[in-house]
Every structure is written in structure tokens, then in C-alpha cells.
Structure 1
Amino acid sequence: MSLAYAAVPLLAWLTAGSLKFALNSWLQRRLAFGGIGYGGCPSNHSAIVCSTATLVALREGVDHPAFGVAVTLAFIVMLDAGGLRRQVGLQARAINQLQAGDAMSVALRERMGHRRKEIVAGALVGALVACFAQAVAL
């Protein structure tokens, strides 16, 4: 097995996370360490799984069974990021509103899921990282 199948998703994760940090810092006009984590643009999860699927397609071909597995995993992760995790964030917001004024309560993180454009941006970042890695023969 090539080390690229472990290195490329890691590189995609680092790239997407760095872009997210830079974008949030620029928008907030301060270092946005609070924006690191779940949610935001681009989606780290989408970048990771799409970098893997793209790398498999480039190295093994789209007719290889591993590509089918990688694409299936990518769809599951991206649907989860835009669906279930987004709903968890909405529930956290509702719980935080119910707890407002309670000094003993700890606020839940509300930004959990992704919008479609954030998922697409993450998918593009992942695909570009895989193409770059393939071009430099990582």
C-alpha cells in the first residue's frame, strides 16, 4: 500500500482546516481559533473523503472496486455533515435558548453541521489536494 493513501487525506484535512481558519479570521478581523472544529467553510470531512476518492480514481481508475467504496463513504460522510450533524446544531441552539439565564448551565456548541456550499467547497479542496499530490507523485 502506498503511503499516499494516508498522507493525502491528512494533507486535505490540514489544507481545509487552514483555509477555514484563514477565512474565519479574515471575516471576523481577528484570529478565529473558536472557528476551528465542526462546521464552517470548507468542510474538513468532505475534504478528507473526497481526497481519498479522487486519489483512488487517479491511481486505480474509476472501475476499481476501491473507488466504489470511497465514493460511497464520501456520500455518507457528506450527507451526514449536511443532515444529521446540522440538526444536532439546531437542537443545541434550542437547548441553549431554554437554558438562557441559568448560571449553572454550560452552553452547547451550536455550529455543528454544514451548508451545501461548505460541503461542496470541502469536496473541491479534497479533490484539488489529491490532484496536486498525484502531480507531484506523493
Structure 2
Amino acid sequence: MMDYSYLLVPFVAWFVTGVSKFLINCIRAKRFAFDLIGYGGMPSNHSAIVSSTTCLIGLKEGIEHPAFAVAITLSFIVLLDASSLRMKIAQQSVLLNQLVKHTDFEQIKPLRERIGHTKFEILMGVVFGCLVATAIFYYYF
């Protein structure tokens, strides 16, 4: 029988984190914040997805299994990307939007400035992902 837990856990982590992020954005903005759905914000969906998979592999296969090493490596790449590269893109978006404001290019749509994640947002994504994986693992296995 096929084991769907490796598909289920990251999906549930993505869903739980996404709903949590939406609720946090609504509370912070004091309105329904549908316009804030997307990249950036707290907690990090990408961090939750990769950490849930990594945690599940560690729980099911053990941390000595080669798949766990691959998952850790993938997780580090995603986490570093969320904190460094995407934050640099966000900084560039801010500067480009300021430049466009001072030109005659009114037809240019402003770039999204909220792209990357703070270290705390990433940490909370990892916590969400590991909690989801652990809860599903102990509930179903």
C-alpha cells in the first residue's frame, strides 16, 4: 500500500501555515488582508513545507537515513533563500519603486516589496512544519 504521508504532511503544513499567516495579517492590518497573501510574512510557508518533510523523514526513517541528509540539505537551501536572496529582492523592489515614483512612468505597476522573511518568520515556519509533522506522525503511526 502506498504511503501518502509524504504528500499529506507538507500539504497540511502549507495549509495550516497559510491560514495562520492570513489570520496574523488580518489582525495586524485590522481588516481582511487578502492583498497580503503571497510571499513574505509570518510564518514562512516555504520553511514550514520543507521542515515538515524533513521532520517526517527523521521521524519515520531515522536521522541516519540518507533521505534525511538530502532533506536537511534541501531545507537549508530553502531557508537561506528565504532569508537572504529574497530579502535582497525585496530591498531592490523598494528602491525601484522609489525610482519609478520620480519618473513619468505612471503606467508601471509598483513591484511587490514584501518578498523575503525575517529570521523569526523563518523560525516560526520551521516550528509550524515540525509541529504538523510530529502531530500527524504520532496520530497516524
Establish whether residue 122 from structure 1 lines up as the match of residue 125 from structure 2: yes
List 4+ stretches of structure 1 deviating above 6 A. Answer: none
Any gaps of 5 or more consecutive residues in structure 2?
none
Matched residue of 1:62: which SS? coil
What's the CA shift for 1:119? Answer: 0.2
Question: Which residue in 2 is equivalent to 1:87?
Answer: 88
Q: How does 1:22-61 map to 2 (within 5 A)?
A: 22-61=23-62
| Counterpart-to-counterpart distance in 2, 1:73 and 1:98 | 36
What's the CA shift for 1:106? Answer: 0.9
What's the CA shift for 1:80? Answer: 0.2
| Counterpart-to-counterpart distance in 1, 2:58 and 2:37 | 30
Residue identity over aligned pairs, in percent, reads 47
Establish whether residue 21 from structure 1 lines up as the match of residue 22 from structure 2: yes
Amino acid at match of 1:109: R
- Deviation track 1:70-116 (CA, whole Å, cap 9, x = no partner) reads 01100100000000011001101100000005322110001010000
Root mean square deviation, CA, Å: 1.0
What's the CA shift for 1:31? Answer: 0.7
Moved more, 60-69 or 98-107: 98-107
| Counterpart-to-counterpart distance in 2, 1:55 and 1:35 | 30
Question: Which residue in 2 is equivalent to 1:133?
Answer: 136
What's the CA shift for 1:25? Answer: 0.3
What's the CA shift for 1:10? Answer: 0.6
Matched residue of 2:114: which SS? coil
| Counterpart-to-counterpart distance in 2, 1:17 and 1:100 | 32
TM-score by length of 2: 0.95
Moved more, 3-12 or 93-102: 93-102
